[in-house]
Amino acid sequence: MEKKIYFILIGLLIFALAACGGGPTGGPAGGPTDTEETDAAGGTETSSGDGEADEPQLAAELSVYNWADYIDQDMIQAYEDEYGVDIIYDEYSSNEDLLAKLQAGATGYDVIFPSDYMVSIMRDLELLHEIDTSQLSNFSNLDPQFLDAPFDPGNKYCIPYYWGTTGIGYRAGYPFFEKNPPDSWDYIFDPELLEQYASDGVNVLNDPRELTAAALLYLGLDANTPNPEDLEAARDVMLKAKPYWKTFNSEDYPNSLLIPDEVVLTHGWSGGVATAYWETYNEETEDGNWYYAIPDEGAVKWLDNICITASTERYDTAMHFMNYLLEPEVAGSITNYVYYSSPNAAATEFIDPDLLADPSIYPPAEIQEKLVWLTEASEEMVPLYDQVWTAVKSQ
């Protein structure tokens, strides 16, 4: 099958039909000692005492808490089969959900995947276990541009997992969008525009920082504003648009809303919309049902990370699993499954060439100039973000 490139639309909209479509090791760095007894649940790691120092005895199970639909389950199964570790896998829908779960006292999770700004928050709250990247034999596979990030200098707590953008997904062939392809956050927040298609369904991400950032960009403001007045303005914009939104969904919107045509427009992550595109791809037309656009006003660029919880009792196994995810073939397979950009340079040869050429997945420099990182909110702004989100969700 010959696939066409799944084009991203930015700036003056360039409207085009979408397209394309050795085992790891990890040693201890302050984790539990290898001589501890295994508990009844198989949680604590053990060693017979005669193994190699760089080949830790793995725990019987490992608890992984990740974003929804954010890993190739075949890779999980392959790890379980090869190493005899039962992966207990659970999912969350936002960084704030992850933080709330850990702050509420959840201590069973070992490996988590917070985004950039949330890493620094969790680090400050002492929710993350310090790691020693010299113990990760596959760490050198990572592209240096994604290392030593401001939210985690020296990668003392986390390593890069996948990155992407947050923009607008819209239904291909929808009459209004055929004449007016979405190229602005107006399509999410302007009531006059929303009236043209809201009856057919609009979804926004159930994510307080992402949705608020989009509203701030719509207003021409800083997505990481330090001004309370800006947050109030963003709140008012969201409240005016909310009557036109059908759903707040960041958990499973590609499968539950986009693919079955429950909505015609979504505030969404690049890989989520790409998933809907490929799941609806028609070989005869060589096209899918969903397109993706970066608004003219700019958009969020994010980097998700693999981290180990401070409460883990399976540190060696967590490091081993982390290193496994850095295997080039594993990382490439996951990109082919989730449609997000891999920071793993060595994985490139295992990634579908059509995805590598797709600017919605690997944005060129001119697109990246429009993108912004979300940063940790100041201590004074955190409660204001909470108040804004409570107002938006409750009214």
Q: In the chain, where are the structural domains located?
A: 61-163+302-368, 165-301
**CATH superfamily entry for domain 165-301:** Periplasmic binding protein-like II (3.40.190.10)
What does the pLDDT profile of the chain (395 residues) look like in tens digits?
Answer: 333 334 344 333 333 333 333 333 333 333 433 334 344 334 555 443 333 445 679 999 999 999 999 999 999 999 999 999 999 999 999 999 999 999 998 889 999 999 999 999 999 999 999 999 999 999 999 999 999 998 999 999 999 999 999 999 999 999 999 999 999 999 999 999 999 999 999 999 999 999 999 999 999 999 999 999 999 999 999 999 999 999 999 999 999 999 999 999 999 999 999 999 999 999 999 999 999 999 999 999 999 999 999 999 999 999 999 999 999 999 999 999 999 999 999 999 999 998 999 888 988 888 889 999 999 999 899 999 999 999 999 98
Distance from first CA to last CA of the chain, Å, rounded?
A: 49
Beta-carbon contacts of 46 under 8 Å, excluding residues fewer than 6 positions away, are 34, 35, 36, 37, 38, 57, 59
- The CATH T-level fold of domain 61-163+302-368 is D-Maltodextrin-Binding Protein; domain 2 (3.40.190)
Structure tokens at 241: 């648009």
DSSP 8-state assignment for residue 193: H
The pLDDT value given to residue 359: 85
Q: Write the single-letter amino acid at 138.
A: N
The pLDDT value given to residue 106: 84
How many whole angstroms separate alpha carbon 27 and alpha carbon 31?
9
Query: Are 317 and 135 in contact, with CB atoms under 8 Å apart?
Result: no
Query: Are 372 and 114 in contact, with CB atoms under 8 Å apart?
Result: no
The pLDDT value given to residue 249: 97
Tokens 């990382």 correspond to what residue?
331
Where does the chain have alpha helices with state H?
73-83, 95-103, 116-124, 175-179, 186-189, 191-194, 208-218, 228-241, 253, 270-279, 315-325, 328-338, 353-356, 365-368, 382-394
Burial class (CB in 10 A: 0-12, 13-18, 19+), 314: buried
